[in-house]
Structure 1
Amino acid sequence: MVNEAVTYACEMGLASIYTDHSLFGFDDIASNILNRVLKSTLPTVGAAICVSHTCCDNFILRAHMLPSIVHVIPNAAHTSKFPVINQHHLIATLFSIERITVVVVSRLVYRKDGNKKLSTEEMMERERLHGHVEFLGYVPHSSVRDVLVRGNVFLNCSLAESFCVAILEAASAGLFVVSTNVRGVPEVLPPEMIHHADPNVDSLVESLSCVQYPEKSIQLIHLSFITEVARETVTVYDRAFSGVCGVVCLLGITLHFVVFLVELWQPRYLIDAGPDLCIDKDKKHSNDNENS
C-alpha cells in the first residue's frame, strides 16, 4: 500500500517521504521480492527516514537509495504516558530488597501468543518456577505502564531489532534495562541506563546479576529527546516539500503510457457508464407526505 501511495503521489506531482523501521535480509524469496519493489518505487521519493543507523544501512542496500537523502531519526516514546512513581523510592527499593522483579513485555509470536507461550509454560512447570513467574497474557497498550512499574528491571531478549520502542517506554517508567545487543538496540539508550548482553542465556543471566540503577532522572532526558526528534522530522519534511514544483519522473510517464495502451485495447466508448441518480426533492417530499 505504501509503494502504491508513493507511486500515485509522484503521478500527481506531490512530494513523498518514506519511513522505514524494519530490517530485511537478502537470502529469502519474500525479502528479495520486496527489495525489488522498493528499487522500482522509491526513486520517486524526496527523502527517507530510518529509525537507526543499522536500519539506514540495511535500507540503502535494499532500495539502492542515495545516502544523501536518507536521514536517521530515532523513534520517540510518549513519556507522559509512562510517569515514574517515585525515582528515589525505586532506587532505594532496588538495593534494599533481596528479590528483584524482572518485567518482560513482548510478543511470543508475531501479534499473538502462539506455540511459544505453551513452550514457556512447559519450561516453567519443568523448572518448578510457579512462585517466581507470573504470566499476564495479552496486555493492552493502555495498561503497559501499570505492568512496568510493578518491576525493577526490564528485560528485552530480541534477536533482531532496528529500534526497540519497548526499551524507551520501560526507561521512561523508571526501570533499568537489560537487553541483547542486537542490530539497532545499542543506539536506543545511553550506557548508564542499559546493560547490553549477548543474545544467549548465560550472558543475559550475567547481565541481570550485575544491575546498577542510574542516579539520574530518566524522565527528563526523554522529554527533551522527543522534542529533538520532532524538530528533526519537521526539518526533513520542509526540505522535501520545498522542491515539489515541476517534479516529473519516469514512473509517472510509464503510468500515462499504460493508461494509453489500456484505452487502445478497451476504448472508453465501449464501457457502459452508470447513469447519475437524480431525484426530484420536491416530488420525493410530496411522496413522503402521502405515505405518512
Structure 2
Amino acid sequence: MARKTYNIAMVSDFFFPQPGGVESHIYQLSSKLIDRGHKVIIITHAYDDRKGVRYLTNGLKVYHVPFFVIYRQTTFPTVFSFFPVFRNIILRERIEIVHGHGSLSNLCHEAILHARTMGLRTVFTDHSLFGFADAASILTNKLLKFILSDVDHTICENTVLRASLDPLMVSVIPNAIVAESFRPRGYQPSSSKTNPSGFAPDRSPVRLGPRDTITIVVISRLFYNKGTDLLTAAIPRILENHPYTRFIIAGSGPKAIDLEQMIETNVLQDRVEMLGPIRHEEVRDVMTRGHIYLHPSLTEAFGTVIVEAASCGLYVVATQVGGIPEVLPSHMTTFAKPEEDDLVAAAGKAITAMRAGHVRTERFHDQVRHMYSWANVALRTERVYDGITGSIPEEEFYGFDTGGYNGSRRRDFALVDRLKRYYGCGIWAGKLFCLCVVIDYLFFLFLEWWFPRDSIDICPDWPRKMPPEDVARGSKSNRSSTSLGAAKE
C-alpha cells in the first residue's frame, strides 16, 4: 500500500521569533514532516510587526493571526472569535489534521475544538508537566479534560492522569535536537576507527587542575517553574564552597531581578555573568564557554536544553523531576532533588568529578547524536497520523485487536456522540462544556451559510518532497522493470 501524505496545521501560541523548546519542537517537526512529503502550515499569533503570512525555509508557511496577548505570549481566551479566521485558513489550505501544541496555549485549545466541529482529525502534544493540588494546575487540568475528551490522539507525559485519558489514546514521543548545531569546540566528525571521539587528532580530553576555573552555564526562562528561586539561593553557596568556579546565566523573565539583587548583595559581579535573553542560534556559543550545565527546573516534561548541553560537551546537573531522569544516560548527568541543599551538593559532586577527570565529556556529542533525531520523531508522529486517519489498521496502531474492546477507537464526529463525551467531564463542568460545543456547532453552521466554502480561494501548494525510502523504492522498481524488459527482449 502506498504511503499517504497529509495536509497538517500546527497550532500554538508559542512559535518563533520567541525562543524556547516548544517553538523549536514545532519548527523542527514541521520541517521534517515536509521532508517526508507532507504539507505543513503553522498558525500562531502576531509578534510585534510579524503579522499576516510569513514563509520560512523549506516552504513552511506561518499564519500570524492578530489576537491580543495577555501573559507569557498566550492569547486572550475568546472561545469563538477565532473560529472565522481559523475556518478560512483551514479551507484555504485544505487541512486534514490539526495538531495543537501546549497546555497553556489558548489558541491550541480553541483550534482543536473548532477542528472537531468541522469534522477534522486532531492531535494534541503536551510539552509541560503540572501537579494536581494548586489552583493553576486544577484549572489547567480541567481545561485539558474538556479539550482532550474529543481529541483523536495525544502525545504527552502525565496527561493521562491529568485529563483522565484512555492510555491507548496516548503516545510518548521524545524531543530531539539538530546535533550538528550543537558541536563542542574543536569538534571534527570522525573519519576513521582511530579517532572514535570525533575530535581532531591533536586534541586530547580536557584536564582541569585544582586552580583552573570551572564555568557553570544556565540557559532558561527566568520564571518560578524553571527553578529560578532555587538557583538564586544555591549560587552563593556553590561559589563559596568552590572558589575557582563561575556562572554564566542566559535568559529573561520576572525572576531576573531576584538574581541581580543576589549578585549585588553577595558582591558576585566578577563571578556571575548575566547575558539576558539570547537567540536560539547563540545557545551553542554560550554553552561551549562552560564545563557544566545546571538545570534547576521544578517541572519539566523533557528538557531539550539538557540534551543540547550534553551535545556541546557539558556535564549536566539537573533536578530529578518530570521526564528529566529518562532523557540522558547516567554518565552524562548528576541528579538532585528540587531542594537547595541537594542542588548545592550535586553541583559540588559534578565539579569534583570534572577536576578528577572522571567525566569524558569529549565523547558526549557523538553519543547524543545517535540517541535523538528529528527524522525519527517525524516518522513516529506520522504513524500517529496514519493511526487516527485509518491509513493503517487499528490492530497495527494500537498493538492488539480492538474489536472486542469497545469497538473502533476512532472518534466519531456526530454531535450527539461528542456531547456524550463532554457530558462526562463533571457535574457542572460537563453541562458547560456541552453548551460550548453546541454554540460552536451553531456558529459553524452560520459561517457555512454566511461565508460559503465555494467563495474561499484555495492556496496553491509547494511541490511535495519525496522521502529517501520512497526514492530508493522507486529506483528499485525502475531497475526491476528495466531488467524485466531486457529479459523479455
Pair in the same fold by TM > 0.5: yes
Larger Rg, first or second structure (1 or 2): 1
Aligned to 2:335, what secondary structure does the other structure show?
strand
Which residue does the alignment assign to 1:113?
253
After superposition, the C-alpha distances for 1:4-58 in whole angstroms (9 at most, x for unaligned) are: 22222223332111111112233344433333333233232221101xxxxx33x
Which residue does the alignment assign to 2:163?
63
Deviation at 1:109, TM superposition (A): 2.8
- 1:248 matched to 2:348? The reply is no
Q: Take 2:345 and 2:140, find their aligned partners in 1: how far apart are those partners? A: 39
- 1:220 matched to 2:366? The reply is yes
Counterpart of 1:236, as a letter, is: V
- CA separation of 1:2/1:242 partners in 2, compared to 1, >3 Å: closer, same or farther? same
- 1:21 matched to 2:130? The reply is no
- 1:100 matched to 2:246? The reply is no
- 1:236 matched to 2:350? The reply is no
Which residue does the alignment assign to 2:181?
81
Q: Take 1:18 and 1:262, find their aligned partners in 2: how far apart are those partners? A: 23
After superposition, the C-alpha distances for 1:121-176 in whole angstroms (9 at most, x for unaligned) are: 23223333232221112222221111100011111111221221110111111111
Deviation at 1:119, TM superposition (A): 2.5
Give the number of the structure whose residues are more often strand, by fraction: 2
Contact 1:94 1:152 in 2 (8 A): no
- CA separation of 1:183/1:261 partners in 2, compared to 1, >3 Å: closer, same or farther? closer
Aligned to 1:218, what secondary structure does the other structure show?
helix
Deviation at 1:256, TM superposition (A): 8.7
Contact 1:7 1:251 in 2 (8 A): no
- CA separation of 1:31/1:201 partners in 2, compared to 1, >3 Å: closer, same or farther? closer
Q: Take 1:186 and 1:203, find their aligned partners in 2: how far apart are those partners? A: 16
Cα RMSD, aligned residues only? 3.4
* Matches for 1:85-164 after TM superposition, within 5 Å: 85-86=185-186, 89=203, 91-94=205-208, 98-109=212-223, 112-114=252-254, 116-164=255-303
After superposition, the C-alpha distances for 1:98-121 in whole angstroms (9 at most, x for unaligned) are: 22111111122378433x323222
- 1:2 matched to 2:98? The reply is no
- CA separation of 1:96/1:232 partners in 2, compared to 1, >3 Å: closer, same or farther? farther
Which residue does the alignment assign to 1:285?
none
**Bigger shift: residues 85-94 or 116-125:** 85-94
Contact 1:7 1:252 in 2 (8 A): no
- CA separation of 1:240/1:218 partners in 2, compared to 1, >3 Å: closer, same or farther? farther
Q: Structure 2: which 5+ residue stretches go unaligned?
A: 1-106, 188-198, 225-250, 354-358, 393-409, 421-433, 456-489
Give the number of the structure whose residues are more often helix, by fraction: 1
Deviation at 1:85, TM superposition (A): 1.7
Deviation at 1:64, TM superposition (A): 1.4
Deviation at 1:240, TM superposition (A): 1.6
Aligned to 1:155, what secondary structure does the other structure show?
strand
Contact 1:159 1:180 in 2 (8 A): yes
Deviation at 1:62, TM superposition (A): 1.9
Counterpart of 1:118, as a letter, is: I
Contact 2:220 2:252 in 1 (8 A): no
- CA separation of 1:206/1:32 partners in 2, compared to 1, >3 Å: closer, same or farther? closer
Which residue does the alignment assign to 2:89?
none
TM-score (norm 1): 0.76
- CA separation of 1:26/1:236 partners in 2, compared to 1, >3 Å: closer, same or farther? same
- CA separation of 1:149/1:29 partners in 2, compared to 1, >3 Å: closer, same or farther? same
